[in-house]
Structure 1
Amino acid sequence: MSLASPDKLLWLMVALPIIGFYILKTRLRRRQVSTLLFWEQVFEQKRQRSLWQNLRHWVSLLLQLAFVGFLGFALADPLWNSQADRGQDLILVIDNSASMGAINPDTQQTRLEEARSKASDMASTLRNGDNIALITAGTSVRVVVGMSDFAPTVVEAIEQIKLTDGPTQVRDAVAAARRLASDPERRRIVVFTDGGVTDRDRLKAESSNDSDADQESRVAQDESTTPEDVAFDGRLDADDVRLISVGQTLDNVAITTFQVRRSTVDPIGYSLLVEVKNFSEDPVENRLTLKLNDVLADVIPLKLQAGESYRTQIDATSQAGGVLTGELKDDDALLIDNVARAILPERPEIPVHLVIGDESQSYYLNRVLESIPLVRIVDQSQIDQAKLHIFAGVVPEAIPDGPVLFVDIPADGPKQFAGADESQGTPAWRIGEAMENPIIAKQETSSPLLRHVQLQNVILAGGRDIAVNEQLGNATTLLETATGATVCVSVEREQGRILLLASDLDSSDLPLRIAFPVLMTNAMNWFFRETGEIRPALATGIAADVPWDIGPVEETTLARMIGPAGDESPVTVKDGFAKLGALSQTGVYHLTTESKNQTPIDGQEQPTEAELTEGDQESSTSASDLEAGSLGEAVAVNLTDPNESDLRVPELSDDASAPLPPASRSPWFYLVLAACGLVIAEWALFQRRVVA
């Protein structure tokens, strides 16, 4: 045993005045009395107990000297032989990922609570000369307390650690711990985890005592890896890492996939891809309940064998959009993966203003429009409600704003572009002569308008060649005849998209083919930019870019994101995408603009710090607040990590990890306890009698 602070032994000098007080004798005062008869009897009794009286004084003296000695040596901070000259940098890594929320049925405690208890006990063993730090390894790695020699701060911080819903980042946390304490001789990393990592079975098989030759061999296998990378990577089997397993193996059933998308053919159809996996060792019976905006949509009974997965695609229809929720009935050890959500885009009604020329009946066009569930044909009195204008056999004096469809085009487009002679105008397009039985020879297969459509060898009676004025917009040829004539063109313009189809539907065989209603459905989706592509539900712990069109693409806009619990955080929107970091909680997030008037970041005046602070104070998640800004995208976030849902805890042997730091308390703790015991003994043997 050695002393960390031998200079504190000077406190033992306190024993000298104590000894002096015991040696010092008190001189008796002379007093005159009338008789000595009674005093002689008292002196006689005192002489019979004089030996015990002297012994009792010596015992009291020895107890007090021992008390001073214990305190003096405690202040000198004695060290065990195993602790001598081994100051250490202790980094505690606590896994606060989703699986750490699993509840132990015996203690009704979560794994995180057990990890916090063990970590607090270890932090309390910090001795003089040691440093300690705290890192969490949940959705993201976070250094909660940097390297410090004050253990109470770490103990208090441990109690404040909260669960996250994301996957564990233990390996990244270990790499961060190695960078936090660069001295390998002093560094000791202790990880409290349930082992919810990739290849968890390897944790109990890998040895931690890798030699220098082993490290050099590992480097030789990967030429891109340097010895510095080996020293600072996230390996859990190194000689400076100790894995402390928490929790016990539990059964669990989880939703591991939950994605929904709108149909590319059916305007109100959607497809749901769902997967449920049984992580138990026994067969289970369960029930998956599907709800759309809290309205029951479907119930699927499940019978899963041990380790079996159930994966299916569910097709359904709904014009309304909203939050599609899947929920398992069982209340197992981990509840967070029993619920999954996805955002189903709404299909709004499309009011159509249909204008038919005198010579066109457009019987087939009417029937197709009526068959599309979202289309509602409005009359002249409701023209202001129209979102789509369709002209069949007629050309208007001016092209209205918004999406426009021209069918059976009889003449050149309106003259709305100035030409060489400003008194006249150039038409938006020019139409050639009607062709006799033109056959489609070529189609633009990459266009979303022709998705699932095959029109080659189709006869378009009344077809005409279309030449679009470049001032109208960016034109794309969709259908071309064998003679090279263009009979169908799509135009991109700022005021709205235009589709031109130069064919007489009343005499053509196009309406008789199944491709025609599909073409019209594609046109509706194309006009309103409804691509039918998947709007994926995000996974916790993964950064993502969410499409969000709220302003000019070339500008970067500041917006805000409201989490499931009502907390707010700023986000930036650039190039039509909201940049989202790793989200730590499951649920539905809402993206809203900062205000009605967007404030671009690039090249624009920025709000002051006071203005931002005032705006933050006024913000809330109430409905009125959402109306103040513009409600943007809703983003669903789920836990779909099988490693987190698998609640098996690997059994780690002592040989599979680095040794624990000294867990016993320093000798000063026991010396202080002994000193307190001596005080009580001395009071019981001597001071209590004097007081009595």
Structure 2
Amino acid sequence: MGITNWGWIWTIIMPLAVILYYFFRKKYKDRPVSSTLFWQETMKEIQASPYLKKLQHHLLFYLQLAALLLCVFGLLQPYINSDTLKGNEFIFVVDTSATMLAGSPSNFDKQKEKMLELLEQTGGKPVTIVLTGQSPEVIARDQRNMETLEQAIEQLKVTYENAHMEQTLLFAETLVDNESTVIHVFTDALDRKVLANKTDLAYEVHGMEGQLRNVSIRQFGLTQTEEGMKAIVQVVNESEDSLTGAIRLSTGEFAKEAAIELKGKEEILVPFEELPEEKLWTATLDINDEYSADNEMTTFVQQPINTVFIDSSLHELVASGFRSLDLKVTSVASNQMDQRKGAPIVTNQTALANEGAPILLIGRNDAAAVEVAGQIETADHPLFTYAPLDGVYVSHLYPGFDSFETIASIDGKPFIQLSSEGDIVILADIQSTDWPLSPSFPLFLWSAANELAGSESFLGFFQPNEHRSVTLASSSGEWEIFKDGEYMHSYLEGQGPFAAPAETGVYDVKGDSQNLKMIVQLSNEEKAIAAGEDYQIGQAASKEETVRFSIMPPILIFILILLLVEWEVYRRGIALR
């Protein structure tokens, strides 16, 4: 605490004057003395402690003296110092991805505690809270009320969705009102390269130091052979320590387990053979690590694809790519493609899209391609799990479909799209790309063929909170989503894209008499955890600055209360006379 204006210290003479006045003022009081014999005794009693008796019998004096002392203290303009965060406005960007669950207590809980601590240092300045994700969410905008902000932070939950940090930070920058705004990022780890060019704003990154032990199931696949079902589970140890555990495969009442041992940074494949022919399988990892969200993975065995029908007008490289997958490729004349049913169709005839048969549309026969330049940008989608498009060159693109979902683009123009019926569209001729030279080309064709095959009882694989167009049709138009028999929420046909639940697991999608299985699982990005650090980038020179808070308002309120009490004492004294 400090004093702003010592020049008013001379006003201390006012309460001193009041004290002297009460000490020396004359006040005569009639006192009957029965006899002169008692006169000396009475005078001795009065003179023994005259000043103390005066003080004891003057409540009005105490109140006046207290009010004057507070007035003198207020004229000195007292203040208290408080350390507050640097900046006039704050934006809290909160990472709600699955990796924030790592650790015990979790990184997410630690960051919530840190947010509450920093909130106390904002000094009543406006705070905005933004949650990460494909569609960043603002849960508080320019909020000054501490209780509201604390409640919002306490209610934060992990959404399991990929953070999409770069996209979220671009969104947060649109909320900046002035140059003094500081953006605080609460995450487990954020590469400095993400903020390398953002020097015009102030960033404070709050990371989590220390590498945690983590072993994850990266891939889980099953195939049907003459001897029965076979499975392969890919397990990766990210830590430096050697760890032992077990992998357990289960379906219904059947379960099979295999012991595993992983060295530091080791990756192994665990095979399982002679499995019963069931469609829904779950692989569970039992190991002593510090991140359990990636220790379980579920897969659905779909009907295998044996044949594809390919439009004879397409380049031979398309047929060669499918033949490399050991599929039976049947070349069909363009005017006969609409008669083919029962297997995926590969063509460039847009009129066949959404006609019932699953279609892979490569190019368009109803539009002209335009020249394009730039790198391919892909969204999170199962089609790219095994087939990344990094380094693929495309020279010409056809115009996209307005009603289709874009999952890959070049320079903002659609490259790969999905129709509402599940058809896949590649908006380029194969000969106008160098894609066939990349290993990802046959892998993409394999993923596309499996995506088009589908299943009458399986809706598909989804990532947490993923929004996707799906083919659902019922007489009521309503589908209810359950997990382990518990109702989660409903989806109404035609009310926007289908939204997957946030938590991973197996869900039942029920509509009328239909029951479809749906699997929500983490992306590979959310199966790898990394250690981070705290750092600053941009205009922020320090974390804290000292701010003076005047304590005059409570002093004035207390003086007013004293005056009211003093008036009541004075009024009662007059009434008793």
- TM-score normalized with structure 2 length: 0.57
| Cα distance between partner residues in 2 of 1:326 and 1:477 | 32
Counterpart in the other structure of 1:589: 507
Shift in Å, 1:243: 0.7
| Cα distance between partner residues in 1 of 2:492 and 2:274 | 34
Q: What secondary structure sits across from 2:185 in the alignment?
A: strand
Counterpart in the other structure of 2:160: 165
Q: Aligned match of 1:279 in 238, 253, 269?
A: 238
| Cα distance between partner residues in 2 of 1:15 and 1:563 | 75
**Equivalent AA in structure 2 for residue 539 of structure 1:** Q
Shift in Å, 1:295: 2.1
RMSD: 5.4
Mark the CA change 1:530 to 1:138 in structure 2 (over 3 Å): closer, same or farther: closer
| Cα distance between partner residues in 1 of 2:21 and 2:128 | 54
Q: Aligned match of 2:182 in 188, 201, 204?
A: 188
Q: Aligned match of 1:559 in 479, 485, 489?
A: 479
| Cα distance between partner residues in 1 of 2:341 and 2:97 | 51
Counterpart in the other structure of 2:441: none
CA offsets, 1:145-192, max 9 Å, x none? 112232321111111111222332433332222112232x13111112
Counterpart in the other structure of 2:211: 249
| Cα distance between partner residues in 2 of 1:112 and 1:255 | 22
Counterpart in the other structure of 2:88: 88
| Cα distance between partner residues in 2 of 1:475 and 1:666 | 79
Shift in Å, 1:313: 5.9
| Cα distance between partner residues in 2 of 1:282 and 1:445 | 45
Shift in Å, 1:648: 3.3
Are 2:264 and 1:306 equivalent residues in the alignment? yes
| Cα distance between partner residues in 2 of 1:563 and 1:71 | 64
Q: What secondary structure sits across from 1:328 in the alignment?
A: strand
Are 2:78 and 1:39 equivalent residues in the alignment? no
CA offsets, 1:43-68, max 9 Å, x none? 44327989999xxx999988765655
| Cα distance between partner residues in 2 of 1:572 and 1:343 | 25
| Cα distance between partner residues in 1 of 2:106 and 2:492 | 33
| Cα distance between partner residues in 1 of 2:16 and 2:137 | 57
Mark the CA change 1:64 to 1:88 in structure 2 (over 3 Å): closer, same or farther: same
| Cα distance between partner residues in 1 of 2:240 and 2:552 | 48
Conservation of the 8 A alpha-carbon contact between 1:321 and 1:343: yes
| Cα distance between partner residues in 2 of 1:48 and 1:447 | 111
Are 2:519 and 1:636 equivalent residues in the alignment? yes
Shift in Å, 1:77: 8.0
Shift in Å, 1:242: 0.5
CA offsets, 1:458-485, max 9 Å, x none? xxxxxxxxxxxx9xx936899xxxxxxx
Q: Larger % of strand: which?
A: 2
Q: Compare 238-247 and 91-100 and name the one that shifted more.
A: 238-247
Q: How many residues align?
A: 415
| Cα distance between partner residues in 2 of 1:21 and 1:48 | 14
Conservation of the 8 A alpha-carbon contact between 1:252 and 1:647: yes
| Cα distance between partner residues in 2 of 1:287 and 1:31 | 102
Shift in Å, 1:330: 1.9
Q: What secondary structure sits across from 1:182 in the alignment?
A: coil
Aligned pairs (5 A) from 1:268-667: 270=229, 272-296=231-255, 298-311=256-269, 314=272, 316-322=274-280, 324-344=281-301, 474=339, 537-546=461-470, 548=471, 550=473, 557-563=477-483, 566-570=487-491, 572=493, 579-581=497-499, 583-593=501-511, 629-642=512-525, 644-653=526-535, 658-659=540-541, 662=544, 666-667=548-549
Counterpart in the other structure of 1:360: none
| Cα distance between partner residues in 2 of 1:37 and 1:256 | 106
Shift in Å, 1:285: 1.4
Shift in Å, 1:87: 6.6
Conservation of the 8 A alpha-carbon contact between 1:271 and 1:315: yes
Q: What secondary structure sits across from 2:49 in the alignment?
A: helix
Mark the CA change 1:475 to 1:299 in structure 2 (over 3 Å): closer, same or farther: closer
Shift in Å, 1:276: 1.4
| Cα distance between partner residues in 2 of 1:662 and 1:301 | 52
Conservation of the 8 A alpha-carbon contact between 1:561 and 1:590: yes
Conservation of the 8 A alpha-carbon contact between 1:98 and 1:165: yes
**Equivalent AA in structure 1 for residue 128 of structure 2:** A
Shift in Å, 1:116: 1.5
| Cα distance between partner residues in 2 of 1:477 and 1:647 | 43
Computing the radius of gyration from Cα coordinates, the structure with the larger value is 1
| Cα distance between partner residues in 2 of 1:560 and 1:300 | 37
What fraction of aligned residue pairs are identical, expressed as a percent? 17
**Equivalent AA in structure 1 for residue 254 of structure 2:** V
